[in-house]
Structure 1
Amino acid sequence: MQIRKLAYTAIFMAVGVLSAHLIYIPVGIAKCFPLQHMINILLAVLLGTRYSVSAAFGISLLRNILGTGSLLAFPGSMAGAALSGVLYKKTNSIWGAIIGEIIGTGIIGALLAYPVAKYFTGSQVGAFFFIVPFLVSTVGGSILAYFLYKTPIPAILDEKLNAGGRG
């Protein structure tokens, strides 16, 4: 069971890393990536908070190594993934995961991005500068996650995960 979850997480990470250079919104030093937020929500719903946060970290790290991301990917994606997973667990609803992702990335992650931008990249932007672009990115990704969640794909993945050793 654990190996299946790790395999699904790795597949989502591969999709995130491979698509990072195709779909992103450049905002100053930030490269907002809506598919990251979609992945955060889907992993939070399908596998849980640990897997969602781990994938967010892994995608951010690989995007930075490959030059398709910025250091701001870490606070934005990981805060959203964590709150998405926590609220999904409390509400057992896709809407809980979506609200967690939007608040976690769009507000908390954006505010956490300020010290990263200031001290690690030397940017002089204000503390609230990243809120609007992060919100735009996370709302876009959340809409994608909602519509993808309504397809048969999550049910098939959930069925495979819960099949144990049979599949």
Structure 2
Amino acid sequence: MSKTYRITFMALFAAIGTFGSSLLWFPAGIAKAYPVQHAVNVVAGVLLGPIPAVIIAFVTGLLRNLLGTGSLLAFPGGMIGAFLAGYLYKKMKKKWTAAAGEVIGSGLIAPLIAVPYAKVLMGTSVASFFFIPPFIVSSIAGALIGLFLVTRILKSNVWKG
């Protein structure tokens, strides 16, 4: 895959994550759940790999924060899940491992990182169990959507990665 092709798809996935998150989200305590971002993480992790998926998650989180449609929690949640989705797929070559990596990274690891992160950057101190339920719900929903999409993309033979 050429560098231009890869960067173009990274920009497209960041745009889908940014715009899609403004359409489909639900409040979950002080966090907002964005299943579209989780779906993008799975698709990007499988199609482009872990590093491009992390960059896409960072750009999407940054754009959502600049546009006022996201929270600072988008950074740890999106980036950790994107990395694990891409990394596990790269190692095991099974699409379901990308979805599992997204749920583990965004649903379980990110809430633990979000506690001190929220205290320092957002001025709130809550226990990690407060973040786990909304992060899990959002990441499972998005990972399933992403798994469905990436399966259809790869089955259709339109992706030339």
Contact 1:64 1:70 survives alignment (8 Å):
yes
- Counterpart CA distance in 1 for 2:90 and 2:124 is 36
Contact 1:46 1:154 survives alignment (8 Å):
no
Partner of 1:134: 135
State the secondary structure of the residue aligned to 1:31.
Answer: strand
Partner of 2:117: 116
Partner of 1:37: 38
Partner of 2:61: 60
In 2 relative to 1, CA 30–154 (structure 1 residues): closer, same or farther, beyond 3 Å?
Answer: farther
Paired amino acid for 1:124: S
Alpha-carbon offset, residue 118 of structure 1:
1.2
Aligned length: 160
Paired amino acid for 2:55: S
In 2 relative to 1, CA 105–155 (structure 1 residues): closer, same or farther, beyond 3 Å?
Answer: same
In 2 relative to 1, CA 45–126 (structure 1 residues): closer, same or farther, beyond 3 Å?
Answer: same
In 2 relative to 1, CA 148–133 (structure 1 residues): closer, same or farther, beyond 3 Å?
Answer: same
* TM-score normalised by L of structure 2: 0.94
Alpha-carbon offset, residue 152 of structure 1:
3.9
Question: Which runs of 5 or more residues in structure 2 are unaligned?
Answer: none
- Counterpart CA distance in 2 for 1:36 and 1:157 is 22
Alpha-carbon offset, residue 97 of structure 1:
0.6
CA RMSD in angstroms, aligned pairs only:
1.4
Contact 1:29 1:70 survives alignment (8 Å):
no
Partner of 1:69: 70
Partner of 1:101: 102
Alpha-carbon offset, residue 153 of structure 1:
6.3
Partner of 2:47: 46
Alpha-carbon offset, residue 149 of structure 1:
1.9
- Counterpart CA distance in 2 for 1:91 and 1:4 is 25
Partner of 2:150: 149
Identity value in percent: 44
Partner of 2:20: 19
Contact 1:44 1:84 survives alignment (8 Å):
yes
- Counterpart CA distance in 1 for 2:39 and 2:8 is 18
Alpha-carbon offset, residue 119 of structure 1:
1.4
Q: Which has the larger helix fraction?
A: 2
**More displaced stretch, 123-132 vs 94-103:** 123-132
